[in-house]
A and B are shown apart, each in its own frame.
Chain A
Amino acid sequence: MKHPIRVATGVVCTVAAVAGIVTAANAQRRGGYNFASGKDIYEHVCQGCHMADAKGAQGAGAYPGLASNRKLQTPLYPVLIVLRGQKAMPSFSALSDEQVVEVVNYIRTNFGNSYPNAVTLDQVKGLRARAVQQQAQRPG
């Protein structure tokens, strides 16, 4: 398993997380998200922008609401956005396939959404090749 680290110089380094060299804690800090359920993932990752009530927010620009959002009808639409990002929204491809399944199904069945046809693990695995690497750049 490889954890890409993007540093301020703009150079992408790849650190091989060989067991016993990089500690689990280090790997977690540099890598993904340590949450299992869709609810947990939403509350620790997504709500940063989409807000606790999933209604989004409005400033000089806006974050779209996910609550009662008809675009979520299409099951693979949110999967692709999570894996690839969209415009200013970064990709969240550091989420595992399982985590993507959990969080997408959570969003599609909460906040006033109740869409059938849950996303499956195979579907997410099938789209993984189209994921965009998450940039974890240390700002200046």
Chain B
Amino acid sequence: MSVIADDATQSMSRRELMTLVGKVAGTAAMYQMMSSLALAANSTFDKRFSLSGAPKGASVLILGAGLAGMVAAYELQKAGYKVQILEYNNRTGGRNWSLYGGDTYTELGGITQHVQFDKGLYLNPGPWRLPYNHQGILHYCQMLGVKLESFNQANYAAYIHSQNAFGGKPQRYRTVKADFEGAVAELLSKSLQQSQLDQAVTKEDREILLQALRNWGALDQNYRYVKGRASSSRRGFDHWPGGGLDGEPTYSEPVALSDILKSGLWGEIAANDGIPEQPTLFQPVGGMGVIGRKFGELLKNVIRLNSKVVEIKQDETGVTATYVDTVKGGPPQTARGDWCVCTIPASILSQIPMNVSPAMQQAIYAIPYGASCKVGLQMKRRFWEEDEDIYGGITYTDQMNAIIAYPNTDYFSKGKGVLLGAYTFGPNASIFTSMTPQERINAAVQMGANIHPQYRTEFETGVAVAWHRVPWTLGCQGTWSEDARATHYKNICQIDGRIVLAGEHVSMIPAWQEGAVTSSIDAITRLHQRITKG
């Protein structure tokens, strides 16, 4: 079977393969194959997902035109339901959002920023990357024709920086990683050779482990991590190998383990090892917001923008949402459906009167929203590429801005570029949120200049989004504590009468678009079952 799968999947879709297997080997074999492929999946999302058979005339009211709301609308409409969406903003996408030159954004407190970026340049204030195993959001990108390009997370040529280590001089990620792993490999080798680990490692494994450590840590023949070809091939050279008479390399001196440990820089190496950080990651060409925009175009006939929901009320036959037009004003209006998928963030929903069970209401109250702030900085030239050989990826710093991320697109272009100059969370994000947008930009520029002095001459204009100042989310994402999850998570997922909730806050993948998509799929699947099977 595996031979068939390996060859056949090159040229046919999974569905076609199933059909073929079904024809040749019968239905039993097809089901066996289906389940074995499902087991190989890295996601709960099933690409074969589809609902059908809505009762004639049945309607679903959807609150929020973010990804969860639009996935629900699209799939339920396909299944035959009559759908309509109410959306607070004057655009679709919710936190799926990009800011381009010419855009304006007014935060709570009333300050309006006029984005001055050049054409084609943008900041993704919210989500900015799509891990390879987030098959739900990737599926909808494909469905919508959103073109994807690679997102670099780890860039070995980017920096790790600490104000108090190495005189504040940023260190290349590759040298920190090589020196840390090399020194650890050497230490372990010594312990093995001195028989200190005999209780933990058999004699046979010891020899293999020694070889593996030499290989992993770039050790020399004597199991030492020292200046030489092996270590320089990982950490970099003083004079790089090349052609002809100038090609003779000069090896670089590794940093001592003690200095690496005290620097704290090792802390960022593992930051790239989580599954969402592992290659391959993607980003939509032209900005993350392209997904929300295209989804909105597809569903434009069923979306009502500028609609602020002020009350949600269910009765025996349906759900009524009362809303106010945020542009035209006027008296409150109502929208009604037989059922309701509510994707309004819990931060907002906790303030909207809604007659649900106490268990669900308590769950909505139990989700604190995390702080985060992003700052985009336009530079006159792409100095990180031109001067420092950094193409995309991330620099980590222990300054408050936390991150500098380089654009993963338009490499080698002669024009300008927009850096992500700050991406904060936790206490530092609260501090950034308390600043004015201009102060956030100034802070990001000042901190960035400690890593890239070119900032001082190349910075032109910036934009700063602090998520607790975003009028329609009052925070970045649901930050469930383990205790709150144990008590409330199942309750928030239940269908409460005629209402079901969806969004990243109703998922085990908080703060990721995949959480919104998979929560929506799960919610509408159960809702459809309830409607059709009672």
* Interface positions of A (Cβ within 8 A of B): 6-10, 12, 15, 20-26, 29-33, 43-49, 51-52, 57-63, 85, 87-92, 94, 132-140
A-B contacts counted at CB < 8 A amount to: 162
CB of A140 within 8 A of CB of B400, answer no
The answer to whether A29 and B368 touch across the interface, beta carbons within 8 angstroms, is no
Question: Complex: how many Å from CA A135 to CA B372?
Answer: 12
B26 near A: Cβ within 8 Å? no
Q: Which of A23, A57, A58, A88 contacts B369 (CB 8 A)?
A: A88
Interface residues in B393-408 by Cβ distance below 8 A to A read 398-400, 402
Residues of A within 8 A of B399 (CB): 25, 29
B434 touches A139 (CB 8 A): no
Q: Which residue of B lies closest to A89 (CB)?
A: B368
Q: Which residues of B contact A32 (CB under 8 A)?
A: 427
Instruction: Let me know if B329 is at the binding interface, CB within 8 A.
Output: no
Verify A138–B475 contact, CB threshold 8 A: no
Give the residues in chain A near B369, CB-CB below 8 Å: 88-90
Is B343 part of the binding interface, using a Cβ–Cβ cutoff of 8 Å? no
Is the pair A136, B425 in contact by a Cβ cutoff of 8 Å? Answer: yes
Complex Cα gap A9–B510 (Å):
10
| Minimum distance in angstroms from A64 CB to a CB of chain B | 10
A139 CB contact (under 8 Å) in B370, B470, B474: B370
Task: Decide if A85 touches B264 in the complex (CB within 8 Å).
Answer: no
Are the C-beta atoms of A90 and B479 separated by less than 8 Å?
Answer: yes
Q: What CA separation (Å) do A6 and B271 show in the bound complex? A: 12
Give B344-360 interface residues, CB cut-off 8 Å to A.
Answer: 344, 346-348, 350-352
In-complex Cβ contact of B398 among A8, A29, A46 (8 A): A29
> Is B98 close to A, CB under 8 A?
no
- Minimum distance in angstroms from A99 CB to a CB of chain B: 11
**Ranked 7 nearest A-B pairs via Cβ:** A59-B471, A136-B426, A48-B433, A88-B347, A140-B512, A90-B368, A139-B511
Spot the interface stretch: B8-16, B161-169, B377-385: B161-169
With A60-B471, A140-B127 given, is the CB distance from A25 to B398 under 8 Å? yes
Contact residues, B463-491 vs A (CB, 8 A): 466, 468-477, 479, 481-482
Distance, CA A137 to CA B368, complexed state (A):
11
Find out whether the CB atom of A61 lies under 8 angstroms from the CB atom of B433.
no
When each residue 325-351 of chain B gets 1 if its CB lies under 8 Å from chain A and 0 otherwise, what string results? 000000000000000000010111011
Chain B residues whose C-beta falls within 8 Å of the C-beta of A134 in the assembled complex: 426-427
Given contacts A25-B398, A26-B267, contact A140 B427 (CB under 8 A): no
Residue B445, interface by CB 8 Å? no
Q: How far is the CB of B255 from chain A (nearest CB, A)?
A: 15
Query: With an 8 A cutoff between CB atoms, is B48 at the interface?
Result: no
Q: Is the CB of A61 within 8 A of B351?
A: yes
Complexed CA–CA distance, A38 and B421 (Å): 30
- Interface SS of B by simple majority: loop
In whole Å, how far is A1's beta carbon from the nearest beta carbon of chain B? Answer: 15
| B162 A25 Cβ-Cβ under 8 A | yes
Task: Assess whether A22 is in contact with B264, with CB atoms less than 8 Å apart.
Answer: yes
Query: In whole Å, how far is A138's beta carbon from the nearest beta carbon of chain B?
Result: 5
Q: Is B275 part of the binding interface, using a Cβ–Cβ cutoff of 8 Å?
A: yes
Task: List residues of B (408-443) whose CB comes within 8 Å of A's CBs.
Answer: 425-428, 430-431, 433-434
User: What are 23 sample pairs from A and B whose C-beta atoms fall under 8 A apart?
Assistant: A7-B271, A8-B274, A9-B274, A15-B267, A21-B264, A23-B264, A24-B164, A25-B162, A26-B162, A26-B267, A29-B400, A45-B427, A45-B431, A48-B466, A49-B468, A52-B109, A59-B471, A60-B308, A62-B351, A135-B368, A137-B426, A139-B372, A140-B511
Give the distance in Å from the alpha carbon of A43 to the alpha carbon of B276 in the complex.
Answer: 35
How far does the alpha carbon of A45 sit from the alpha carbon of B275 in the complex, in Å?
32
CB atoms of B164 and A137 under 8 A apart: no
Whether B129 and A140, one on each chain, are in contact in the complex, defined by CB atoms closer than 8 angstroms, is yes
CB distance from B366 to the nearest CB of A (A): 8
Contacts of A47 in B (CB 8 A): 434
B365 close to A (CB within 8 Å): yes
Name B262's contact: one of A21, A51, A136 (CB within 8 Å): A21
In the complex, which residues of chain A have a beta carbon less than 8 angstroms from the beta carbon of B152? none
Distance to closest chain B CB from A133 (angstroms): 7
- Chain A, Cβ-Cβ closest to B350: A87
A34 to B59, CA, bound (A): 53
Judged by a CB distance under 8 angstroms, whether B513 is at the interface is yes
- B425 — nearest CB in chain A belongs to which residue? A138
Per the bound structure, the CA–CA distance linking A33 and B431 in Å amounts to 8
Give bound CA distance, A140 to B344, whole Å.
19
Q: Do residues A48 and B434 form an inter-chain contact, with CB atoms below 8 A? A: yes
- Please report the C-alpha to C-alpha distance between residue A20 and residue B368 in the assembled complex, in whole angstroms: 34
A43 CB contacts on chain B under 8 angstroms: 434
